[in-house]
Amino acid sequence: MLSGVSFSVGKGELCGLFGPNGSGKTTLFKCCLRFLRAEQGSVVVHGEDVSRCSIEQLARLVAYVPQEHRPPFPYLAREVVLMGRTPHLGGFFGVRRRDREIAMDALATLGINDLADRPYNQLSGGQRQMVLMARAIAQDTPILFLDEPTSALDFQNQMRIWEIMRDIAGEGKTILACSHDPNHVAWFCDRVVVVGEGAVVAEGHPEDVISEGVLGEIYQDVCSVRTLDGVQMVMPRCVAERNGKPGGGLHLHDTPLVRAWSEVDAGT
């Protein structure tokens, strides 16, 4: 259950929605996308109250990548990506050549052209996730909601997706990406919203928010936050303590990090 959640994400920002299992991240997404109806409050997307938008209008404003998706029919991967163009189709004229080109360009952006003619339901979980990301890119909306977009990917593809998200945000699009990895949001996001037990625990710049104080509140003091060559790093406290001993082999600089959450308002 969500209570008193309020925050905003600006144009061209990559914002990480971060928190433990059951904290309300997916529920928040569903409220923003009108899959669930909030009892009170409002969600404003690109200046439009989503409760007053038609499905067609919302589909032109927001693209969504779910954690998992299994279609009932064996569509080809390129057909799944082409579905992202549905809000832009020209009625009687249907799918245009330009729509097909945009879909293929989206596959190329992620480097998965080789999957275009393979049945989507026969792909691995990670490959399906990449195809869904391509579909969201092809949809060409000002805002993207990504629910654990890298959860099924190997490390190389995780980094590729986060870099692509940075590029997309750099083009002026707004991205709200849900993640369980504090390092990912610290390394790639412009701002972070931390959710715990249905409320906003902290929000702001990653260097301020991904701190031992905030992580200790949501994860019961199992995390240690250090800097390595100027890069913020979160690791299990037991690993940090073990490797901090002489002969441990990992030398981290214990540069203090700013703790800036105690006075944070729980609203957006």
> What's the CATH code of the domain at 15?
3.40.50.300
pLDDT at 202: 93
pLDDT at 2: 79
Are residues 229 and 156 located together in one domain of the fold?
yes
pLDDT at 94: 73
Are residues 194 and 262 located together in one domain of the fold?
yes
Are residues 62 and 193 located together in one domain of the fold?
no
Q: Which of 91, 114, 141 is the last residue of a domain?
A: 141
Does residue 35 belong to any structural domain of this protein?
Answer: no
Asked whether the CA dihedral 183, 189, 192, 196 is positive or negative, the reply is negative
Q: How far apart are CA 34 and CA 45, in angstroms?
A: 11
pLDDT at 3: 79
User: Measuring CA to CA, which residue among 3, 32, 7, 2 is closest to residue 202?
Assistant: 7
Are residues 251 and 147 located together in one domain of the fold?
yes
Q: What percent of the chain has pLDDT over 70?
A: 89
Considering its fold, how many domains does the chain have in total? 2
Q: How far apart are CA 27 and CA 31, in angstroms?
A: 6
Continuous segment of H or E residues that includes residue 242:
helix 237-243
- pLDDT exceeds 50 at position 259: no
Task: Identify the domain containing residue 120 by its residue range.
Answer: 47-141
User: Measuring CA to CA, which residue among 232, 35, 53 is closest to residue 145?
Assistant: 35
Does residue 154 belong to any structural domain of this protein?
Answer: yes
- Burial of 195 by CB count in 10 Å (0-12 exposed, 13-18 middle, 19+ buried)? buried
Digit-coded pLDDT (tens) for 212-232: 999 999 988 888 888 888 888
Are residues 58 and 150 located together in one domain of the fold?
no
Q: Which of 90, 112, 141 is the last residue of a domain?
A: 141
pLDDT at 38: 79
Are residues 24 and 58 located together in one domain of the fold?
no
Are residues 124 and 156 located together in one domain of the fold?
no
Does residue 194 belong to any structural domain of this protein?
Answer: yes
Tell how many helices (H) and how many strands (E) occur in the chain.
10, 10
Does residue 109 belong to any structural domain of this protein?
Answer: yes
Mean pLDDT of the 187-200 span = 92
pLDDT at 268: 35
Least confident among 16-25, 52-61, 237-246: 237-246
Q: Which of 108, 141, 174 is the last residue of a domain?
A: 141
pTM to 2 decimal places: 0.84
pLDDT band at 93 (very low <50, low <70, confident <90, very high): low
Are residues 25 and 57 located together in one domain of the fold?
no
